A = this chain, B = another copy of it.
Amino acid sequence: MQRTHHCGQLTESHIGQTVTLNGWVQTRRDLGGVLFIDLRDRSGIVQVVFNPDYSGEALQIADKVRSEYVLEVTGTVVKRDAETVNRNLPTGEIEVRITGIEVLNAAKTPPFFIEDGVEVDEALRLKYRYLDLRRPEMQKTLLLRSKASKIFRDFLDSEGFIDIETPILTKSSPEGARDYLVPSRVHEGEFFGLPQSPQLYKQLLMVGGIERYYQIARCFRDEDLRADRQPEFTQVDIETSFLSQDELLGMMEKLMQRVFKETIGAEISLPFQRLTYAEAMGKYGSDKPDLRFGLELIEMNDIVATSGVKVFASVIEKGGEVKCLNAKGCGTWTRKEIDDLGPFAARYGAKGLAWIQVKDGEFKGPIVKFFSEEEIAAVRERTGAEEGDLLLFSADTKKVVADVLGALRVRIGRQLGLIDDNVFKFAWVTEFPLLGYDEDQKRYVAEHHPFTRPMDEDLHLFDTDPGAIRAQAYDIVLNGYEVGGGSQRIYKREVQEKMFDALGFTPEVAYDKFGYLLDAFEYGTPPHGGIAFGLDRLIMLLAGRTNLRETIAFPKTASATDLLMDAPSQVDNSQLEQLHIKLALKPKKEKDKE
């Protein structure tokens, strides 16, 4: 027999037809000698019925099957009796009366139920991923991912982009403390590095006249893992020549619009909001603000600098700042509810959290007594504080104030129901700082990467104030997540050399590390720039999930382990010998082995 239909496909239009189905036993119920099996394949579920009246020998065989057996069944599609119609099932109007069956494979009882919404320990799900993948929700997510990738490709293809594969066995990047290394068998004592991104290759493709490149590229980063990081991850990697930043961003907006429309039917309106980094940090305390709601951070320095609140005055004197959030309607919170915010704020570096309630028309709270009448009026005007509001103040360095109030803003926004989970609010954040000062290394480091082009009007700052240089860099943010980022790149050797100099590389070191790039810049490099989207995170948001692992067929755990195959694992010494390396374990373990 040969499969004629898929389970979830069958409708009333198939009534009377003989069909052959393949699938897994979802459930099996015996009602007075009549056997009902819900048969499941990738397309869905259909009820097949074994009845002594028409199933003959098939009933005896079916009687022995259990959950997750793999079957081939043949029978006739019939309409169900009115009282047995199942409105919860797309195929619920019909059932299949079985006349032939073959058990293709048996199954032991699975360690967990193959259905959505069941609470299963994630480690168990990952160990038996091949069973977990049978759950409709996982299949739906993987299908969504496949579809989204296809839409990316279709769009980019139609815009003249060439899909080019770049090497995975490449050079360990000089700044690459976080590179995975691969020892070479042929070249004794040498190593390949796995790419953190195809950055340099895609720039060299632009030097090579490719003009528009894309790749859905695997990237690798051996860093300390968090819930939302994987040692290998996928990015939609894009690079263009001769396009202005505005042209590129406009094209990418259309791309996002199409991906969201064609996967989940969401309408994204264009153009996206654009904020500079300074605006984003100032108003939202974050470079990836959730713009589905307001609740903006309010500057207070000018009002409170001379107030009697000592901590405010002293912070401002030291170059810090005071900002406030107006949590509308939270003026009725109990003292305990307000105090509960303290430990939360502390996690983001707050040493304390000052507050004012507006109650009975008056400002109330421990700090109110230190304000003059005029100051209270100014605060009221600036914050728009009204009856029932709660003002929350953070006073600290700029960074801590942004972190604390940025986090409080999201927490309170969520608490007040200001965030609509059905809204997708994109924005571009631009003009990121080019360099940040690393206190440990006592030198500037690239905020994005060393190939990011400075803004033309800031080029002169290399000599006077490198930290103030803004970059032609941009992130695309969605609902508080960064889903992509990129920049226009340096394409002149002299600018690249200035950049390396700012990073503290001598010309010799710079050439040793990146000579091929500096050389390439001298052979006719076009102006170019690009972007990369984090595919895993984008799929997570499209699928409405909160965990990257749900979007990946075979993810690794937070400790970079593949629980299914048990990787990484020990290997034979003979293999290591061929690779010209040996283990250098910490003393204790070494001893254990001896």
Hey, which bits of chain A sit against chain B, CB under 8 A? 2-3, 22, 24-25, 40-42, 68-70, 72, 104-108, 110, 128-134, 138-139, 142-143, 145-146, 149-150, 153, 157, 162-172, 177, 179-194, 200-201, 204-205, 207-212, 218, 220, 222, 231-232, 234, 241-242, 244, 247, 491-492, 516, 520-527, 552-554, 556, 559-562, 564-571, 575-586, 589
Q: A516 contacts B211, CB within 8 Å?
A: no
Contact partners of A189 in chain B: CB under 8 A: 570, 583, 585, 589
Q: Please, how many angstroms separate the alpha-carbon atoms of A552 and B168 in the complex?
A: 13
| Oligomer: number of copies | 2
Q: Known pairs A142-B162, A204-B564. 14 more at Cβ < 8 A?
A: A72-B242, A105-B524, A105-B526, A106-B522, A107-B523, A134-B209, A167-B562, A170-B562, A171-B566, A171-B568, A186-B559, A191-B571, A205-B553, A208-B553
CB distance from A381 to the nearest CB of B (A): 46
Asked if residues B41 and A209 are in contact (CB atoms below 8 Å), the reply is yes
Can you list 18 residue pairs at the A/B interface with Cβ under 8 Å? A3-B242, A41-B209, A70-B525, A105-B492, A130-B204, A130-B207, A169-B180, A171-B567, A172-B569, A181-B182, A181-B183, A186-B559, A190-B568, A200-B565, A208-B553, A576-B581, A576-B584, A581-B582
A151 shortest CB reach to chain B, Å: 11
Assess the A571–B181 pair: CB atoms within 8 A: yes
Q: What is the CA–CA distance of A72 and B571 in the complex, to the nearest angstrom?
A: 56
A568 to chain B, nearest CB (A): 4
Closest to A169 in B: B232
- CA–CA, A179 and B559, complex, Å: 23
User: Are A247 and B2 neighbours in the complex by a CB distance under 8 Å?
Assistant: yes
Give A235 Cβ to nearest chain B Cβ, in Å.
Answer: 12
Task: Give the shortest distance, in Å, between A95 (CB) and chain B (any CB).
Answer: 21
In the complex where A523-B108, A584-B581 touch, is A568 in contact with B184 (Cβ < 8 A)? yes
Closest Cβ of chain B: how far from A510's Cβ, in Å? 15
A187 CA to B222 CA, complexed, in Å: 12
B200, B204, B526, B568: the one within 8 Å of A192 (CB): B568
